[in-house]
Amino acid sequence: MRLLEVRDLRTYFRTEAGVARAVDGVSFGVEAGEALGIVGESGSGKSVTSLSIMRLIPEPPGEILAGSSIWLKGEELVGAPETRLREIRGNDVAMIFQEPMTSLNPVFTVGDQIAEAVRLHRKASWKEARARAIELLGLVGIPDPARRVDAYPHELSGGQRQRVMIAIALSCEPDLLIADEPTTALDVTIQAQILELLGALRRRLGMAIVLITHDLGVVAEVCDRVVVMYAGEVMEEGPVEQVFREPRHPYTQGLMASIPRLGQETERLAVIPGIVPSPTAWPTGCRFHTRCPYGWELCVREHPPLFPIGGDRGARCWLETHPERRAAVDRATGGFLGLAGVGAAALGAEGPIALEATPAESWHRRAAGEPGVPAPEATAPDAPARPLAEDPDVERDVER
């Protein structure tokens, strides 16, 4: 039995613009001691998925729809009473939130905030909880923990605040740790230290980790398996090594192609055209077809299921049943590699072939031909007038 099993999770929000289907039929599982990465662009539903697992979605406007299922250690969390959820949060599953400066309470010391979870779940005395807080600060690598335990969040650096968030999450040694972009806004050196710390704690405590991030390099370093999300759905999943070595979904291919390669010369980086659509108006059929170089009429007409590829792998793309389409586009345009300046002649001996325009190409051609688009400026506009220069007395006052 898996430690965590998410089945057909649907989390919707009712807004003035309509119903936002932020998470729409997501399924995945996490084994005990496993590290699972969830990647995707902003707006793909990653953070809402994690908050749904923790049952922290505000209701209203949010709602986890009937038929959704979240099993943790054999217990169904959807529909569980709030009193039971409070016992589970922090004890069986914990979460590291984004932006520690906004997640930590500025009027309490970090030691008080760590000790709170220990006293609540372990029924420890204040003295025991404080000793545990000092122990945890040392465990996450904060120097002089006996002194830092009485520090306030604003007295710590960004990396130290993130370590405090990790200490709070680990205070009761949960079986599952959800880390929502734990290295956001940290410099590269501190990011490497935090990732190394998470890996060491995972091996030491034997806990499972769900890591949510935009950084594919972080997933490659930390995780065993990866789930690629887009537009509220799982686009591809599988072991990290297999998915990164041979991505099957065009969205995954686009993410991989957009990573600069050290020592590789290219005229321009590959990009995925467009942006993630609004969750109140997902495209019909395949939700990626408006940005996909491989799309055709089947993608617009029918919504693809998550096709099993073999083993733990799966991809939500009609190319799995129509591989000839992938081969034809690769020969003609190079797919996402073609956006980086790689010519079709370099991709296949047959050279360019006749190929109908993809839905993405047609959409962008129409957008480019729409009236009302301002022409690029031939020369830079004049600098705006300085209103203070017209009143020397006011300017002198400002300078003084």
CATH of the domain at 83: 3.40.50.300
**C-alpha span between 166 and 97 (Å, rounded):** 9
**C-alpha span between 219 and 198 (Å, rounded):** 12
Together in a domain, 211 and 264: no
What is the 3-state composition of the chain as percent helix, strand, coil, each rounded to the nearest 5? 40, 20, 40
Burial 113-145 (b: 16+ CB within 10 A, else e): bbbbbbbbbeeeeeeebbbbbbebbbbbbbeeb
For residue 183, what are its two tokens? Answer: 């290295």
Q: Are 307 and 317 in contact (CB under 8 A)?
A: yes
Together in a domain, 210 and 226: yes
Q: Are 32 and 177 in contact (CB under 8 A)?
A: no
Location of structure tokens 């306030």: 152
Higher pLDDT, 129 or 338: 129
What pairs with residue 313 in β-bridges? Answer: 310
Domain tally, the chain: 3
What 3-state DSSP class applies to 4?
strand
Instruction: Note the pLDDT of residue 43.
Output: 86
- Asked if residue 251 belongs to a domain, the reply is no
Q: Are 341 and 267 in contact (CB under 8 A)?
A: yes
> Which of 182-191, 203-212, 375-384, 389-398 has the highest average model confidence (pLDDT)?
203-212
**C-alpha span between 153 and 105 (Å, rounded):** 8
Phi, psi (rounded to 5 degrees) for 158: -60, -40
Mean pLDDT of 246-275: 82
For 72, the domain range is: 1-92+174-245
Together in a domain, 64 and 86: yes
Tens digits of residue pLDDT in 164-199: 888 888 888 888 999 888 777 667 777 787 788 788
Together in a domain, 50 and 113: no
Question: How do beta strands 35-39 and 225-230 pair?
Answer: parallel
Together in a domain, 240 and 121: no
Together in a domain, 125 and 148: yes
- Asked if residue 379 belongs to a domain, the reply is no
Sequence length of the chain is 400
Task: Flag whether pLDDT at 157 surpasses 80.
Answer: yes
Together in a domain, 118 and 223: no
Task: Determine the straight-line distance between the first and last CA of the chain, rounded to whole angstroms.
Answer: 72
Tens digits of residue pLDDT in 50-70: 999 999 898 888 899 988 999
